[in-house]
Structure formats: C-alpha cells, structure tokens
Structure 1
C-alpha cells in the first residue's frame, strides 16, 4: 500500500509541476509575442500610441483574432440560447472566448444612438461612479479601445497623439482629454459595463461605477455603492445558494481567466431600458388575449466577467440581444426545451423572469413547433429535455449566423 501511495504522490507531483511550467511558458510566450514594453505592430495593429498599456500582456489573455473583412451592416449576432434544464440556481459560468469579449453587429448604430438618448434623458441613472473608482474606469476604457482596434482594425484605430477613431460613426475622441471614460464607452460600445471593487475593511466587493443603458426594473441609483449580495437581492435563492461562493470567487478571480454566461427573458417588443414607472410596465403583470406571437421576443443579456490587472477591479459587462420568438420554430430542440422550462421550472424563477404576461401565447406555440420538429425528424420523439451540448447555442446554429 505504501508503494502505491508513494507512486501516486510522485505522479501527482509531476503532473502539478508540468502544469505550472506550462502556465509560465504560456504567459512568457504571450508577453514575448506582444512585447513587454511598448506594443507589437503585428498583434496591436491600429494602435500607434507608445503610451498605451499592453493589456493582453498584462492580463495573460490572448488578443482576439482580427477581422479585416468585417462589415458592420451585414454582421449578425451569434444566436445565444442559454437555456438549461433542469433549471437550478447557479451562475453557470463558462470560460470566455477572447475573440468575443465585445461583439459588434448590425444594430450597432441604432443601439449607440438609443443609449445616448437614454443618457441625455436619465443622467446618473445611466452613468455614475463613486470616488475612488476613477482609475478603474480609465483602465477599463483603455482595455476596450485596445480590444476594438485589434478585433476590428478597419473600423477603429488609435493614433500616436491619443486620438481614438471610430470609422463606423465617423467620430474621433481624444483619449488623453477624456474626463469621463464611461461616456466614451457609452458613445462607442453598445454594452453595459458595471465595475466592482473590494472594500478593504470588509473584504466584500461593492458596485462602484458603471454605464447601464440596458436595465429593466433597476437603474444605477438603486445599486451603486451596494455589496454584491445586496445588488443581487431580487435573485431567487441568491443568499441561500450563491452568496458565499460568489463572494469567495470574486476575491480569488485571476486576470487570465475571464468568464461568460447568459441571462434570458421573454419580452413584448424590444425594451432595452424600462423602469417601474414606465407606462408599459403594468402590462408585464397581465395576459393580453390579443397579443400577437410575432410581437414577442427573446432577450438575451450575454455577459462576461473579468478582472482588471492594474486596479484589480472586476468588470461585469453585457450586451442585450433581441430575437423574435418565432425563430425558435427553425431551431432544433429549442421549442421543446423552452416549453419545458416555462411549464415546469420553479415558480420563483419564472416570477423573477416575469414570464406570466407572455406564457399564454408562447407555450401553445412552442408545443406546436416541438411537434413539427419531431415530425420532421429534427428531434427524437422520446427526447427528454436537457441542457444541449451546444449550449449556449443549438445544433446547426452556424447555418443561421453571418459575421
């Protein structure tokens, strides 16, 4: 027995040593390829400013693959379908693909204009920051600019004088003179960015700054300054099942391991930003018999989470994407899976997602479409609902995607 134990320990030691060496060599390769000081013209194309920090090297996250032939007017968002069954309360994190930290697509101009209008109307309910978060906000803006210039080299560039050029909108921004980096994000990226920082006294992470033009039922003034468990107060079972593990995760989260997840809801129309005093809010608590299935949309908030290397703040960013529910008819397994979730998930989950106002129209349609897919042979007749292997997508999704 002692020989077996000794052998096992030796093997385990060798495996751990190999992993450590591999990780160090991977980090060295990234930093060597990018250049520890200054930037690499090959990998950081479009960034001429020598004063700009090389965040790919600093974080250990690989740069995205450049898209020199990208066409913003033809690009379709990836068809995220983050449906799970059985539906348990977990954060359902996955490793983030570095290519897709920020995803631009054909609604870009429309969304940027909409977000600017919302900010003009609602002010600090859209953008706000607490004292002490300034460095984190600036660092985030720099990381975003660097990513955009590398991923979309024909659409964005940063010149040697620090001017950031957005060729989609035909605008330029002086990054050295920006007093409010979150405004720069609002005017160039159709995503929300929420920053949290550690409270040195309690060790807990608090919501300290953000730009949020995609909020439904909440706004910046309701959340800023609060600890994570208070921010997530309305989430079912958060305190019982998630609070401890989430607090611990945020403390230990490394820069080199960004993550992603998806949240979904079913909406009438495409409400990007809606508050409880909106005239349409009351409609979420009633079932309109005249509601047209063509007016119901899947809303997916595709989210990523990563640590900033210098400030050590953590940024949570997400993009709201809308898809007509009628598209489910052509997506294998999705009608069956979504129908099961709507019918059988625990009541607190569905109440939190506010599905009551659409259920009377969506559930019958999903049942018809699920039957059609079985008859076509797309789905086995005895298939039991489960999380798809393609999650967060569906089988054959590439046929419906263009980027």
Structure 2
C-alpha cells in the first residue's frame, strides 16, 4: 500500500526498552547488526538527516534539532548529540527502534545491492552475511522469489519515485517474542521446536511492518521495518480473523510453512482459531456460511477502532 508520509516512523510505549535492547545487541554482535560499505556514506548521511527532519516535525515535544550547531536533543532518553561527530547508522541505532537498510544500484551489474544498514530484528540472517549482495541473494531463501519476483523487483526499484513511498506487512507466528536470533544462538533451534506443553497465551503474531522509499539526493533506496508482536489471544475478539487465519494456515504451501516456521505451533494455533471462529458464528458476529476472503476493511477487520 502507499505510505502516508506522516506515519513513516511511529513511536510506541516500548521505545526506551527497545532502544536499550538494540544497543545491547550491537555491543554483542557488532558488524552482524550494523555494517556499511565504501560509497554508501552520502546515502547514510542523507538518511540520518531525513530521519531527524521527520522526528522533530512529527514529535516536536520529544525531539528537537538545531541545524547551525548540529545538536539533536532526544527528550525521551535525555540525550543531546552532535550529529557532526557521529556515524549516521550509529545515530539511528541510538535513537530509532527500527531497522534501516540502504540499497544502491551497482553500475557493473545494473542491479541493486545492499550497501549499508542497521538491523536488530532479524531471525536467521544478518548484515555481515548479506552486505554487498544483490537483491535476489539478500532474499535467499524466500520461497518463490527467484521464480516470481527477482526480475520484477529490480524493475520496480528502478521506477520507485521519491514522492511515492510504500508500506507492507510480512508476518509469521512465534512462541514468545524473539526479536533477533542467529543460527549459532542456543535459542535459535529451540524457537522452532515442537513443545507439547506450549500455551496458546504464549503464541504471538509477529508482523514486520516495512516501508520502502527513495532518497532524493543520493538516489539510494531505503528499506526500513520494525517488528510488532501481538498475542494470538487478541484474535478472539476480532471478527472474521480466527476463521480467516485458520484458512490461510491450512492452505499455505509447504515451502511457505517451512520458511515461516510455524508448523510447530499449529497444534495450539488451529484448535484455538477453530474454537474462536465457532464462538463468533454462535454469537452472530460472523454469519453462517461465510466464505474466507480478503476483508473489505483490509488490513483491518470490521469494527476495528483506532482509538482503542
């Protein structure tokens, strides 16, 4: 969907904890979290100032910036930072609880390559391994990318204009709320294992809410996202959602299930979703015989109220 520019970066109640968590992850993983290649400096700096401009205008009571002195004040964290003496990606790490990745077109391959980024919300891949690679290698092992998306994505990036940023949500289910895990981490294998004692209260929908935009000066494309976790039990009060999600889970291709790694949760997910769907039919919230489909209110559900 097209991105409304006012909603590019959204602050949440978890802001302080998330920033601290991301800084701790960087201190542990280093270049696995934050990395950049020569030639990306202009794009990184442009991104930093684009973010600063957005933050001070969107959240004037939380952030301020003095262009002449270069002083940026973060009133939430109680920090004043001189942007002239900080690496741009470190600035983003210290102040914005979202991931940013910069891709630039390579003149030798005529393809877009990952050139810089800070990413603290990845499961199973990292900046160090992906740095410098073209889009189709960055997206390995996304199912069907090579067959269906590889060529169209490069063409789409070519056409992306500065005034038309987009947004999308990528989702899966997780036991708990794992933000960042690497293959060598002890918890990586455990988070994919079947647990007969798992409680439905511990299962969460993870949505990586993503935006894509082109920077006007450098021409680089910025991909940024943040991970949002919602307890699956919230679905119980959302009309149509349990029945719709159960259908999606059952009908998904094996390659998608393997990639998103939710099979080990289905023994708790599907019975709960079926029970809640039946409750909604019994209450008349969902009419009998309703056929699962994309809702008219997409990406919301009937009766959704943003004020809640």
Q: Give, in whole Å, the separation in 1 of the partners of 2:265 and 2:189.
A: 13
Q: Give, in whole Å, the separation in 1 of the partners of 2:32 and 2:74.
A: 26
Q: Give, in whole Å, the separation in 2 of the partners of 1:356 and 1:110.
A: 30
Q: Report the CA distance between 1:397 and its aligned residue.
A: 2.2
Residue pair 1:335, 1:370 contacting (<8 A) in 2 also: yes
Q: Give, in whole Å, the separation in 1 of the partners of 2:299 and 2:4.
A: 13
Q: Give, in whole Å, the separation in 2 of the partners of 1:380 and 1:279.
A: 46
Match of 1:169 among 38, 53, 77: 77
Residue pair 1:284, 1:357 contacting (<8 A) in 2 also: no
Match of 2:290 among 383, 393, 396: 383
* 281-290 or 236-245, which deviates more: 281-290
Tell me the residue number matched to 1:347.
Answer: 254
Q: Give, in whole Å, the separation in 2 of the partners of 1:141 and 1:267.
A: 32
Tell me the residue number matched to 2:175.
Answer: 268
Q: Give, in whole Å, the separation in 1 of the partners of 2:215 and 2:159.
A: 13
Q: Give, in whole Å, the separation in 2 of the partners of 1:277 and 1:394.
A: 39
Q: Report the CA distance between 1:146 and its aligned residue.
A: 0.5
SS of 2:186's partner is coil
Residues 351-362 of structure 1 aligned to structure 2 (within 5 Å): 351-362=258-269
Structure with a larger share of its residues in strand:
2
Q: Report the CA distance between 1:385 and its aligned residue.
A: 1.1
**TM-score between both structures, scaled by the size of structure 1:** 0.75
Bigger CA radius of gyration? 1
Q: Report the CA distance between 1:396 and its aligned residue.
A: 2.2
Q: Report the CA distance between 1:151 and its aligned residue.
A: 0.6
Gapped runs of 5+ residues in structure 2?
none
Residues 96-111 of structure 1 aligned to structure 2 (within 5 Å): 96-111=3-18
Tell me the residue number matched to 1:189.
Answer: 96
**TM-score between both structures, scaled by the size of structure 2:** 0.97
- After superposition, give the CA deviation of every residue in 1:319-341 in whole Å (9 maximum; x if it has no partner): 11111110110111111111011
Q: Report the CA distance between 1:221 and its aligned residue.
A: 1.1
Q: Give, in whole Å, the separation in 2 of the partners of 1:156 and 1:394.
A: 34
RMSD over equivalenced CA pairs, Å: 1.1
Residues 194-233 of structure 1 aligned to structure 2 (within 5 Å): 194-233=101-140
In the alignment, structure 1 residue 129 sits paired with structure 2 residue 36: yes
How many residue pairs get aligned? The number is 307
Q: Report the CA distance between 1:368 and its aligned residue.
A: 0.2
Match of 1:236 among 143, 149, 156: 143
- After superposition, give the CA deviation of every residue in 1:159-182 in whole Å (9 maximum; x if it has no partner): 24110111011111111222x110
Residues 2-17 of structure 1 aligned to structure 2 (within 5 Å): none
Tell me the residue number matched to 1:158.
Answer: 65
* 276-285 or 302-311, which deviates more: 276-285
